[in-house]
Amino acid sequence: MERQRELSLEGKTVIITGASRGVGKQAAMDFARRGANVVIAARTVEVDNALPGTLGETLQQIEALGVGALAVPTDLAKEADLQNLVDATVARFGGVDILVNNAAATTGDYWNIGSLELSREDWLYQFDVNVHAPFSLIQMCWPIMEKRGGGRIINLSTGSGEVFRLPEEPPKVNAVGKFSLTHPAYYASKRALDRLGNALAPELAEKNIFVVGLHPGLVSTELVAIRVRELGLDDSVAVPMTVPARMIVYFSACENPAEYTGRLFWAERELAEMAIPLD
């Protein structure tokens, strides 16, 4: 692939889920630096001693850049919260141009238990957050984007086989150090999200709305730092949060998104192959 020219994001409105920390927060800051109105959503409103970052902290940092910003406390497993997120965005900024489905259910005791011990409740929760919420947000934003002439949807994935462009699926790793990777609901739901974007792409493209799946890779987030310290996760190949955040912005601003729609990409590889600068 060749790098495309990037269009201005000045005045565009973007919704980013899971933006109290990590890649979501980094992307929110990057959009703000380009003059976009940024709407951030997450559950973390109050300070949590177990995890750094809150919606309020992210909001303050975005507002310091002099752009429009809105923080909407949102539980992605609740449909009413999703509708409130979209309604609040439209009420404040008049519409939605870019939707970044970044949030995922990545914490909880189920990461440390075997597959046979995984409850149906925990299984369904992963799908509620990782698949059903993005689907509902896409449905809610679709007519709004269409009325504005089109839009972009970026779905954050995980290590899916298609992303690596190999003839066969890579063998699944069960653990890295003491950190378990055996949680089937997370990976199954993320693969479902990949296929969802692929399946919706043709219909969305008719409305000038384009959907891209992005695998961020192992990223040096605050959560990864905690797992390195407490569980021995090997982060020697981790990339900074600026890498996936930069690719989120690129796919949101590229001149011809039709080339990418319905496809899956790996942030680190694509950034290198297209020689996209981080700044």
Evaluate whether 67 touches 85 at the Cβ level (below 8 Å): no
CB atoms within 10 A of CB 70: 20
Active-site residue, 125 included = no
Residues 108 and 98: their CA atoms lie apart, in Å, by 29
Evaluate whether 13 touches 145 at the Cβ level (below 8 Å): no
CA 138, 140, 219, 122 torsion-angle sign: negative
Find the radius of gyration of the CA atoms of the chain.
18
**156 DSSP β-pair partners:** 214
Residues 251 and 260: their CA atoms lie apart, in Å, by 8
- Which DSSP symbol is given to 168? S
The one catalytic residue in 186, 187, 250, 260 is 186
- Which DSSP symbol is given to 113? S
Residues 120 and 126: their CA atoms lie apart, in Å, by 10
Evaluate whether 35 touches 58 at the Cβ level (below 8 Å): no
CB atoms within 10 A of CB 167: 5
Ordered strands of the 264-266 beta sheet: 69-73, 37-42, 13-17, 98-101, 151-156, 209-215, 264-266
Catalytic annotation, residues: 186
